[in-house]
Each structure stands twice: as structure tokens, then as C-alpha cells.
Structure 1
Amino acid sequence: MENRTEIGSIGEFGLIDRLAEPFKSHQGWTSVGIGDDAAVLNSGGKLTVTTTELLIEGVHFDLSYTPLLHLGYKIVSVALSDLAAMNAIPAQLVLGIGLSNRFSVEAVEELYRGVKNACEEYKIDLVGGDTTASPQGLIISVSAIGVVDAPQLVKRSGAKPNDVICVTGDFGGALLGLQSLEREKQVFLANPEMQPELDNKSYVVLRQLKPVARFDIIHEMRDLGVTPTSMIDSSDGLAAEIIHLCNASGTGARIFEKNIPIDDETYLSATEFNLSPLTAALNGGEDYELVFTVSQADYEKVEKISDVTAIGYMTDKQDERVIVMKSDQLVNLTAPGFGA
């Protein structure tokens, strides 16, 4: 039987020491990390960018099908994706957790193993946080800190008419992963002896359980000397993010159905659930891809990046946010849904 250590047996500070011990610093400007009253960062004159995410069990994640190891990785990626959307490079992380008494030390360590895996992959430092009791379930607050030189900072508000709208990766997979996991949960609840049927859902399930912040594209664009004119990450769905960019920049947008990237497994899973693949891509959310605009001149460089797709362009008509269907029909983009 797996050993179980009650948190009360080692106390809050014992738990903090135990969780903090494996974490090593990757950033030279982390002056003071875990162990003092606050972290101290010396960024050497760069802009410091920070973001915070709050995730609550039963609202943002379901532990009946979300392994704690994957959850630890995901909470880091979710926070860091906001930094990627600002064209910043991630550096530090602060993590707060609220725990009910159903969690053992080993369970919390498994969560932190996922956090550590993400810290190693993104080369960032966990520099502090807090632990507290929760009346029920698991509550997680994660704050991420990054840096960027002032000329490279990208906001939502810089897009201009005729800028090319680009996206990384593909869309709709996370939603279909969630649908697949929820269906298997209901099957299990009805008959606990049934085995989950996820053999042909590996891609979409991973999109839901272990999203990746797209710093690979950020670094590729920097290598090409490209700074997007505006950018956002796709946490709320592609349509919503384009509308956010338009609202902030004072532009319209025209995108094309034929250009929206949808993975084959996402497409097949959507049809299995009697869901339009296009609806999943536009409104699914949690893909954590980047949605950004570049000038016409810079697009000549960006189109060399293999995992970037041009899906449309910004217009000077602020009330025009449309998708051109394959039939040439124009449909208004709306969030959370879309319709004429």
C-alpha cells in the first residue's frame, strides 16, 4: 500500500521545506527565492511583466480525470501563456495552494512534481508562495513574472488595418479533449467496471490536460527580427480573442474558414459529438495558442515558421468582425458563439 503522510504530522513549514527542496534557480537575477518573506528580483532595467491565475477544483479542473502531475504542469503553462502573449520571456513563478484534509503530503508532492517539470522545461524559478487550509477541494493561485525589453513589448492595442492575423498551432482540441473526458467520467459513474475508451483521443486529451505555452514561436519570431503589432493567447476561444484585439486596436477583422487550422483528431472527435469542428475551433477555449497580427512586410518572414498560419487580416471598419465561409457567405464573429 502506498505510504500516506498526513500534512499535520510535518506542519506547514515542514511541507514548504519538503516541496521547495527540489527546486533550483535558473535565472541569474533571482536574488532571493523561497525562504524569506518575499522574493527579490533584479531585472537589470528590463520591463517586468506579471500575471496571476486562480484555479478552483470543480470549476477549472476535475481531479476525477485530471492527474495531479498533469495539473501541476498545466497551471504553470496557463499562467505563462499570458506572458507569451505580451512577448515577454518567463522567469519566476509564485504559487499558492489551499488544501482540504483529503490531500496527503504525497498527493501535494505529485502536484509539485508537475510544477517542477514545467519549471525545468520553461527554465523558470519557483520563488515563493503560500499554503493554507481549504474547507473543501483544492484551490490554486499562480503568479508568473517575465521580462521584456521595452521595444519588444506587445499589447492587444497595436494592430493596424491590413495587418495579417496569424495563429499558432490548431484550435478546438482542448474542448474535444474535455468532452471526451467528461463522457468517460459519466460512463464510469454509471458502470465502474467499464474501461475508458480514449485510444483514439490521445491528441485532444493531451490538449486539455497538458497545454503548452508557445514560447517556441516567440523565440522564432525574435530570431527573425519580428515583433507582432498585437497579440493575445487563446484561453477563451479564437473568435473571442480576435474580437478582443479588434476592440483594443480599434479595427475590424476578416478571417477565412478555409484557413483555420483544425487537427484531424479534433475534426473526427467533433463529428462524433455532433459538434461543428468550426464551432469548436472558434469557441472552444483553453487551446492556449497565440493569436497575433503582423505587418505585411513582417509576414514575409513569419510565413517561414512551420507552425504559424495566416487566417485573415485587420480592416479599417471597426464594426466588421466576420468570417468568410467556404461558401463565400459572410458570418459575424461573436463570442461565445457566432451567427449571422
Structure 2
Amino acid sequence: MIENKNQSRTSLEQLGEFGLIDHLTANFPTQQESTIKAIGDDAAVLSFDKDEKTVISTDLLVEGVHFDLAYSPLKHLGYKAVVVNLSDICAMNATPTQITVSIAVSNRFTLEALEELYEGIKLACNYYKVDLIGGDTTSSQTGLIISVTAVGKAKKEDLVYRNGAKDNNLLVVSGDIGGAYMGLQVLEREKQVFLVNPNNQPDLDTYDYIIERQLKPEARTDIKQLLKDLDIKPTAMIDISDGLSSEIMHLCTQSEVGCNLYEDKLPLDPQFISTCEEFNIDSTTMAINGGEDYELLFTISMEDFEKVKANPNLSIIGHTTPKDEGIHLITRANTKIPLKARGWNHLSNESGEN
């Protein structure tokens, strides 16, 4: 058979992470009655019990793409690897219960190094009360690769998907945003200084909060109970891993709604703001495009405004609109500009359009 040397080749960067997933899985129909929700949300949903649903999500962390061991301690990395997966379970309004961990390592890693990694995994398991129930290890020629699968549970009526937002819902976010990205900028700067002068010891005390947001984030397992106590059922939910702008667009696209996001309502930590000023970069740009905050973004009915407005854990940052009105950022000057998804693109190794 003669090889066709004129075959067109499509780069992965062209598709982007979500485009690639959609492309590769388009022809995989569900075949089991127990599969309630497969690919397309923060986690899969399985049903083996009439009252309680099983929720599953998996993620890869690759050295040189998702983390740099020059400033990521292995213990912190193990903890973070668990957290980023538990966050997806939380984004379904579910409770994480188990994880599996698989790693691929090159021969430059010692047993002691892997013990440090697993000590961080253990700390996360103990803190979040999840069980490590399996995994795999293999060799790697490209450094360290970590794959974690998280399992969770929720009652059918409690589950929240990305596609349930309605027109005139309130857009709410937990915690504050942008800190993890600015923590990364500080670490990258100090790495460059160290490469020039290895004797230089960085003073990172003034950046402790945002660096912790990057190296040791936390999953918002508390939000499910908080909302239940407030008697609120979100209409749609997603976690903020790839940047607020990207996640808003995912939620709006799947819910077929538009959105107005208000610049003056964004919850920003003072340390984040001062670091943006030091780097001479716009805090709003960093807040809506920086990723890895692992906060939860969700929509609620307008009738729930009074329940949320004074809660210190939650911020109302906008509202949904009819789909044809589009997705916009309303600036402090009351200018309406189209919101662009410039969050993290896992396939380009840099920030860009998703």
C-alpha cells in the first residue's frame, strides 16, 4: 500500500484541550444503563444505587507543563494532585470519597523522593477524609507524571451540572480569585533570579498567601454544606481551574445563556492586588484569566439573593442574560466589553484562547 505523503496534519494546539476531548470522544456512545453522565462535565456520574449517584473525575499533572520541581516541593505536589481532582467532585455538588493515584517516573527520582510525594497525598487523604483505593506506577523518559482519579457521591436531587443556568440567574463565586496565578509569577521570577545568582535566598514572606494558593490549594468541600444550610440549590456549577473567563464561557455555552460579569464585584485579596501593582500588571486581567484557584463558580436563582448577599465566603459577581445578548465584562467605568477566554490552554503550554 502506497503511503499518502500529502495527508494534512492538525496540531493539538489548534484544537485546544476541550476541543481535543470533544473530537476524540464524539463517537463514544454510552452503552451501560448505569452511566448517567459521561464526558462533558466536571465529573462523570454513575448510578449503581437508586438513591445515591457515583461521581468520577480524573486529571493528569505533567512535569514541565503543570508544575516545575524547581519550586514545587514534592510533598506539596502530592497534596495538590489530590486537591485538583477533589475540586471537580465538589463542582458537581458532590462529596469526594475515594481516589486512585498513578505515577510515571524517570530514574532520577529516588524512593525517598516518591515517599515525599506520597506523604503529601496522604495528608490530603486525611484532611479530606478520602480513601486511596488503587493506582499504577510505570517508568517515564520525560520526568514525573501524576494521574489521579477521584470518586464521589451525591443524591440525585443534589447533583449540579454545568448546563442548568437560566436567564436572570445570579453568578456567584466562592473565596477570592487570581491569587494562584500571581503566586506562580512570583515563583517564576525568583527562579530566574536564582539561575543568575544561586547564592541568592528569596524572601517570600510578603507573598505567603498567594504562593500557598499556587503550591497548596484547597478544594471547596465546604461549599456543598454551606449552600445546604442556606437552603440554596445552584442551577449550574463549575470549578475555576483554567481561569474565571474560560469557566464562565464553558458554563454559559453549555447552559445556552449570556452573562454580565461586573469588574467591581470581583473578590480580590489585598496581597494579590499589591503583587499585581508590583509587577505593573492589571489586576482585573489577572483575576479573570489566571487559573488554579480551585474555587467554585455557580449560578443561583435571583430569589436567593438575600441568602447570599452578606455571606463572607461567597461573592455575587454578575448575572446571566438571554443567550443572544452575549457574554460581557462590565468595567468600573460602566463600559460593556465582550469577555474573552484567555485562561490556561493545556495543549499550548502557555496562556491563550481555549
Q: Secondary structure at the match of 1:318?
A: helix
Q: Secondary structure at the match of 1:222?
A: helix
Q: Secondary structure at the match of 2:61?
A: strand
Note if contact 1:184-1:197 (Cα within 8 Å) is conserved in structure 2.
no
Note if contact 2:51-2:156 (Cα within 8 Å) is conserved in structure 1.
no
> Does residue 298 of structure 1 match 2:297?
no
Output the amino acid matched with 2:214: Q
> Does residue 208 of structure 1 match 2:220?
no
Aligned-residue offset at 1:255:
1.5
Q: Give runs of aligned pairs for residues 10-29 of structure 1, distance below 5 A.
A: none
The CA distance in 2 between the partners of 1:216 and 1:248, in whole Å, is 25
Aligned-residue offset at 1:303:
3.1
The percentage of counterpart residues that share the same residue type is 51
Aligned-residue offset at 1:272:
1.2
Structure 1 counterpart of 2:85 = 79
The CA distance in 1 between the partners of 2:196 and 2:215, in whole Å, is 23
User: Equivalent of 2:263, from 239, 257, 277?
Assistant: 257
The CA distance in 2 between the partners of 1:223 and 1:91, in whole Å, is 21
Output the amino acid matched with 1:220: L
> Does residue 272 of structure 1 match 2:278?
yes
Aligned-residue offset at 1:304:
4.7
User: Equivalent of 2:241, from 228, 235, 242?
Assistant: 235
Aligned-residue offset at 1:319:
4.2
Structure 1 counterpart of 2:327 = 321
User: Equivalent of 2:97, from 76, 88, 91?
Assistant: 91
Note if contact 2:172-2:298 (Cα within 8 Å) is conserved in structure 1.
yes
The answer for unaligned runs of 5 or more in structure 1 is: 1-40
Deviations 1:34-82 (A, max 9, x none): xxxxxxx986841101001011111110011000111011011100111
Aligned-residue offset at 1:302:
2.9
Moved more, 107-116 or 217-226: 217-226
Moved more, 296-305 or 187-196: 296-305
Aligned-residue offset at 1:227:
1.5
> Does residue 289 of structure 1 match 2:295?
yes
Aligned-residue offset at 1:298:
2.5
Aligned-residue offset at 1:299:
3.1
Note if contact 1:43-1:147 (Cα within 8 Å) is conserved in structure 2.
no
The CA distance in 1 between the partners of 2:154 and 2:171, in whole Å, is 23
Note if contact 1:250-1:318 (Cα within 8 Å) is conserved in structure 2.
no
Structure 2 counterpart of 1:27 = none
Structure 2 counterpart of 1:137 = 143
The answer for unaligned runs of 5 or more in structure 2 is: 1-46, 344-351
Note if contact 2:48-2:54 (Cα within 8 Å) is conserved in structure 1.
no
Q: Secondary structure at the match of 2:173?
A: strand
Structure 1 counterpart of 2:339 = 333
Structure 2 counterpart of 1:53 = 59
Output the amino acid matched with 2:188: E
Aligned length: 298
> Does residue 118 of structure 1 match 2:124?
yes
Q: Secondary structure at the match of 1:113?
A: helix
TM-score w.r.t. the length of structure 1 is 0.85
Deviations 1:141-197 (A, max 9, x none): 000000011111100100011110000111111111000000100100101011113
Q: Secondary structure at the match of 2:205?
A: coil
Aligned-residue offset at 1:328:
0.9
Deviations 1:8-47 (A, max 9, x none): xxxxxxxxxxxxxxxxxxxxxxxxxxxxxxxxx9868411
Instruction: Give the superposed CA RMSD.
Output: 1.6
Moved more, 318-327 or 277-286: 318-327
